[in-house]
């Protein structure tokens, strides 16, 4: 059974007016010495001080990961409350203006180099790490999953507002994020050597400052033996985050099996995958998506069903098929976070109302008590 874990980037906001607050250092100070990362998720700073990242531990089961996600959100929110703020799983802030608030010296260097791209880069993503047996297997997985990733983007879409306006997009974070020069889908690498050659070529241009700025939709993790799926918005609902993580793990397993069985990667051109990403960013699950196998538009429900059939055997063997099926059906029926945000705005044309509704939905499922902040044996 492959282990998996997630990184959730959460927005720190004023609960009254919805303004992002640069309080990441204070939140980290508030949890220092009181929350043991060996016994639960850990918190760290991110690109902007108006956001905080919650990292789960590697988990073997969906139940364990669900607990990590909920516990991490609660831990971050507890600390934010002590400073008069809240955290919300919003992939872009509805109320925002560009800010020079880099989280550390490396990010400050990026701010100097990339100008307005950096100052406006207050976006929150959702990254899923899935264990691999070798880097060779990892590259083979990247090659065989690349055409499925836009579906995960659509399932996570949670960023309709930007700079106080409705953008018309379900995931405008994708449009903001893709201004980085290394972001987006990549060609088939073919081998570990091919992957390393692409990285060397990009770094030799001196445009990305380091390997950490290789922002492919999915990549090999630098410090862990994992494939890191990076395409998704942070999910408003914790249950949606779990669903996407479970499907991502099954997608990695399915891709690895294809490699072992000699199934070649999809020949979908990277230029067409960019169109698939754009359509997923524009419409989420509310319209048509590009079919991963045919690369022409199909209803979103049909495309999601194709993904479910593709990874079904791996989900079944992990014991996750029933939960994943229900989770995907819930997303298609209810919509993603972008729909709730627009519904909240429609009532009074109030962006603070959007943030307030998002805060409430971020923490649905009940508050965790002190007794929950203990070692969990099922991780």
DSSP calls for 252-263: HHHHHHHHHTTP
- 373, part of any domain: no
Residue 34 pLDDT: 65
Instruction: Give the residue from 242, 253, 332, 252 showing the smallest Cα distance to 286.
Output: 332
* β-bridge pairing 4-13 and 161-162: unpaired
- 376, part of any domain: no
CA distance 164 to 98: 12
- 78, part of any domain: yes
The region of weakest confidence among 116-120, 243-247, 297-301, 310-314 is 116-120
CA distance 298 to 292: 10
- 249, part of any domain: yes
Residue 37 pLDDT: 62
Q: What angle do CA 329, 350, 338 make, to 5 degrees?
A: 20
Whole-number CA gyration radius for the chain:
19
Residue 374: count other Cβ atoms within 10 Å of its Cβ.
Answer: 11
| Torsion sign (Cα): 359, 183, 115, 160 | negative
Is residue 217 within 8 Å of residue 146, measured between CB atoms?
yes
Read off the pLDDT of residues 37-89 as tens digits, 9 standing for 90 and up: 667 899 999 999 999 999 999 999 999 999 999 999 999 999 999 999 999 99
| Torsion sign (Cα): 86, 91, 95, 99 | positive
More confident position, 319 or 111 = 319
- 371, part of any domain: no
- 326, part of any domain: yes
- 375, part of any domain: no
DSSP conformational letter for 45: E
Q: What angle do CA 96, 97, 98 make, to 5 degrees?
A: 125
Domain total for the chain?
1
Helix (H) or strand (E) holding 192: helix 192-204
Read off the pLDDT of residues 175-201 as tens digits, 9 standing for 90 and up: 999 999 999 999 999 999 999 999 999
The CATH number given to whatever domain includes residue 68 is 3.30.590.20
Query: Measured between alpha carbons, how far is residue 190 from residues 142, 143, 218, 378 in Å?
Result: 9, 7, 15, 37
Range of the domain at 361: 4-366
Residue 378 has pLDDT above 70, yes or no: no
Is residue 12 within 8 Å of residue 353, measured between CB atoms?
no
Non-local CB neighbours of 305 within 8 Å, separated by 6+ positions:
none
- 374, part of any domain: no
């Amino acid at each position: 059974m492959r282990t998996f874990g997630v990184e959730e980037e959460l927005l720190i906001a004023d609960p009254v007016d919805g303004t992002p607050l640069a309080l990441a250092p204070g939140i980290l100070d508030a949890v220092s010495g009181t929350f043991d990362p060996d016994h639960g998720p850990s918190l760290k700073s991110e690109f902007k001080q108006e956001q905080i990242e919650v990292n789960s531990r590697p988990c073997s089961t969906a139940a364990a990961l669900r607990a990590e996600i909920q516990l991490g959100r609660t831990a971050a929110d507890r600390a934010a409350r002590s400073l008069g703020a809240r955290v919300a799983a919003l992939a872009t802030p509805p109320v925002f203006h560009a800010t020079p608030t880099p989280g550390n010296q490396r990010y400050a260097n990026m701010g100097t180099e990339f100008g307005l791209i950096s100052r406006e880069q207050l976006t929150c993503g959702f990254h899923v790490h899935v264990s691999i047996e070798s880097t060779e297997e990892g590259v083979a997985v990247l090659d065989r999953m690349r055409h499925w990733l836009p579906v995960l983007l659509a399932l996570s879409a949670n960023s309709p507002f930007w700079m106080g306006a409705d953008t018309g997009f379900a995931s405008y974070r994708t449009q903001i994020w893709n201004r980085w020069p290394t972001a987006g889908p990549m060609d088939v690498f073919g081998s570990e050597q091919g992957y390393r050659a692409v990285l060397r070529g990009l770094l030799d241009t001196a445009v990305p400052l380091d390997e950490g700025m290789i922002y492919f939709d999915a990549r090999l993790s630098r410090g862990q033996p994992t494939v890191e799926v990076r395409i998704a918005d942070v999910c408003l609902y914790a249950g949606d985050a779990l669903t996407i993580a479970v499907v991502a793990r099954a997608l990695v397993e399915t891709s690895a099996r294809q490699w072992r069985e000699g199934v070649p990667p999809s020949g979908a051109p990277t230029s067409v995958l960019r169109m698939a990403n754009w359509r997923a960013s524009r419409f989420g699950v509310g319209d048509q998506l590009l079919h991963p196998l045919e690369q022409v538009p199909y209803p979103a429900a049909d495309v999601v069903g194709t993904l479910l059939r593709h990874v079904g055997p791996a989900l079944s063997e992990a014991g996750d098929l029933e939960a994943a099926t229900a989770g995907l059906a819930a997303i298609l029926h209810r919509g993603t976070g972008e729909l709730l945000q627009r519904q909240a705005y429609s009532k009074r044309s109030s962006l603070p109302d959007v943030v307030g509704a998002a805060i409430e939905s971020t923490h649905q499922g009940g508050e965790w008590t002190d007794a929950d902040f203990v070692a969990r044996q099922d991780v």
